[in-house]
Structure 1
Amino acid sequence: MHLIDVTNSYKDLVHSQLNTTNVNYVKVYSLGNTSVIYTESDKAIGIILENHNRRVRKDETDFVIKRLIQEKDPIYKLTIDESQHVIEIHIDK
C-alpha cells in the first residue's frame, strides 16, 4: 500500500477547510480507491478515510494510522458510518 499526496488536486477542499474550521494543516492522500483527508489543529488530529465503491478495510485503517501518526501507541477514537464507506479517526493532542 502507498499513500500518494494529491493535495494539489483538491485546492478548493483545502482552502475551504482552512477558512471555515480551526485546522491549520490539511493534506489529501490517495490510497488506491480510498481517499484520505488529514487535518491538524492545535488541539487535535483528524483523519478521514472514504471509499465510494466499497467498505474501507481494517488493514487500510491500520496502515494510515501507522503512517500518519508519529506516536508509538496512539490513543484514538474511531467513528465508522453504517455502510463502512467513511471512517473518521480522531486523536487529541
Structure 2
Amino acid sequence: MHLIDVTNSYRDLVHSQLNSTNVNYVKVYSLGNTSVIYTESDKAIGIVLENHNRRVRKEETDFVIERLIKEKDPSYILTFDKSQHVIEIHIDK
C-alpha cells in the first residue's frame, strides 16, 4: 500500500477546511480507491478515510494510523458509518 499526496487536486476542499474550521493543516492522500483526508489543529488530529465503492478495510485503517500518526501507541477514537464507507479517526493532542 502507498499513500500518494493528492492535495493539489483538492484545492477547494483544502481552502474550505482552512477557512470554515479551526484546522491549520490539511493534506489529502490517495490510497488506491480510498481517499484519506488528514487535518490538524492545535487541539486534535482528524483523519477521514472514504471509499465510495466498498467498505474501508481494517488493513487500510491500520496502515494510515501507522504512517500518519507519529506517536508510538496513539490513543484514538474510531467512528464509522453503518456501511463502513467512511471512517473517522480522532486523536486529541
Report the TM-score when normalising by structure 1.
Answer: 1.00
CA distance in 2, matches of 1:89, 1:13: 18
Structure 2 partner of 1:27: 27
Task: Note the aligned Cα RMSD (angstroms).
Answer: 0.1
Q: Which residue of 2 aligns with 1:55?
A: 55
**Match of residue 88 from structure 1:** 88
Distance 1:74 1:60 in 2: 17
Give the share of equivalent positions with the same residue, in percent: 89
Q: CA deviation at 1:62?
A: 0.1
1:38 partner letter: Y
Give the number of aligned pairs.
93
For 1:77 and 1:20, how far apart are their aligned partners in 2? 23
TM-score normalised by structure 2 residue count: 1.00
Structure 1 unpaired stretches of 5+: none
How far residue 41 of structure 1 moved from its aligned partner, in angstroms, is 0.0
Quote how far apart the aligned CAs of 1:19 are. Answer: 0.1
Rounded to whole Å, the distance in 2 between the matches of 1:63 and 1:9 is 23
Q: Partner of 2:9 in structure 1?
A: 9
Residue number in structure 2 paired with 1:40: 40
Note the C-alpha offset of 1:80: 0.8
Query: Stretches of 4+ moved more than 3 A in 1?
Result: none
Deviation per residue, 1:5-36 (Å, 9 max, x gap): 00000000000000000000000000000000
